[in-house]
Amino acid sequence: MKNPFVVLTVIILMAVTCTPKASPAVTEATIPTANSVSKETQTIDAGHTIFTTQCTRCHKEKPIQKWTYEKLRPTLAVMVKKAKLDNREIGQLTAYVYANSKK
Give pLDDT tens digits for 65-79. 999 999 999 999 999
What's the CA gap between 68 and 77, in Å, rounded? 15
Provide the 3-class DSSP secondary structure of residue 70.
helix
**Interval 9-67: pLDDT, tens:** 777 766 666 666 554 444 555 899 999 999 999 999 999 999 999 988 888 888 999 99
pTM over 0.85: no
What string of DSSP letters covers 8-56?
HHHHHHHHHHHSPPP-PPP-GGGSPPGGGS---HHHHHHHHHHHHHTGG
